[in-house]
Structure 1
Amino acid sequence: MATWDLSNTKHHVLICNGSSCNQAGAEELTQAIRKEISSQEMDDTIHTTRTRCNGRCHDKCVVIHYPKGAWYKDLQPEDAPDFVYSLRANDDYIAKVSHSFDGQVFERSPGVVKGIFKDKEKVNKVSKIL
């Protein structure tokens, strides 16, 4: 297993490769983002990690950018150039932002599904009602 030198890393991109995202083309998206990072010569500053499910299956394909804390939805391989460029410019890729935490408040973009409770107590209450 490789140990990467991450000392120059400024952006960590988590790319969901869970079941729903994989069915929607997550592997192709992962490869497109990685290829674009290389073509923009950003390998030293952008690190990618392929993850399993991030719990936003409705938003497939999901990509998360840290340290900014921005979540992106519905990304496709053709979005890779603009997405990587947005990282380079230290901006959000507005066309696909789902949730953003700009160091202050976690905001959901208009029209984004809220999702289910993570708190087990609240989940149990909702399950009993349904």
Structure 2
Amino acid sequence: MATWDLSQTKYHVLFCNGSSCNKLGAEEVTQAIRHEITKRNLDTLIHTTRTRCNGRCVDRCVAVVYPSGNWYKGLVSEDASAFVNSLVLNRDLTEKISHTYTGEVFSREEGISKGISKDPEKVKKVSK
């Protein structure tokens, strides 16, 4: 297993590769963005991780960027260049953002599905 030196890393991108995202091309999105990062020699600046389901299947294909905490939705392979540009230029790819971290909670962009509650009490009420 590799142990990466993250001392120069500015961004960490988490790509959802759960089953819903994979059905719409998450692996292709992951590889296209990784290719763009490598092509621009940005591997030390941008670290990527493939994850399992991130729980926002309605927004597939999903990526989460830290430290900003932005959640991206509807990514396709053709977004690779614009996505990497947004990181390098420190400008959000706003048309693809579903949630933004406010410093306290994640706020949802207008028109984005709220989703179901993770509160066990509320889930019990819904399932009855």
- TM-score bin, normalised by smaller chain: over 0.9
Q: Aligned-pair RMSD on alpha carbons? A: 1.1
Alignment correspondent of 2:18:
18
Shift of 1:62: 0.3
TM-score, length-normalised on structure 1?
0.94
- Between 119-128 and 101-110, report the one with greater CA deviation: 101-110
Match of 1:39 in 2: 39
**1:14-93 alignment to 2 at 5 Å?**
14-93=14-93
**Preserved CA contact (<8 Å) 1:9 1:44:** yes
- State the 1:91 CA deviation: 1.9
Question: How far did residue 109 of structure 1 move?
Answer: 1.0
Q: Which runs of no fewer than 5 residues in structure 2 stay unpaired?
A: none
Q: Do 1:68 and 1:103's aligned partners in 2 also have CA atoms closer than 8 Å? A: no
Structure 1: gaps (5+ residues): none
TM-score, normalized by length of structure 2?
A: 0.95
Q: What is the total number of aligned residue pairs between the two structures? A: 128
State the identity as a percent: 64
CA change 1:105–1:53 in 2 (3 A) is: closer
2 CA distance for matches of 1:78 and 1:53?
A: 22
Instruction: Provide the rounded CA distance (Å) in 2 between the counterparts of 1:126 and 1:63.
Output: 28
Which region of structure 1 is more displaced relative to structure 2, 95-104 or 109-118? 95-104
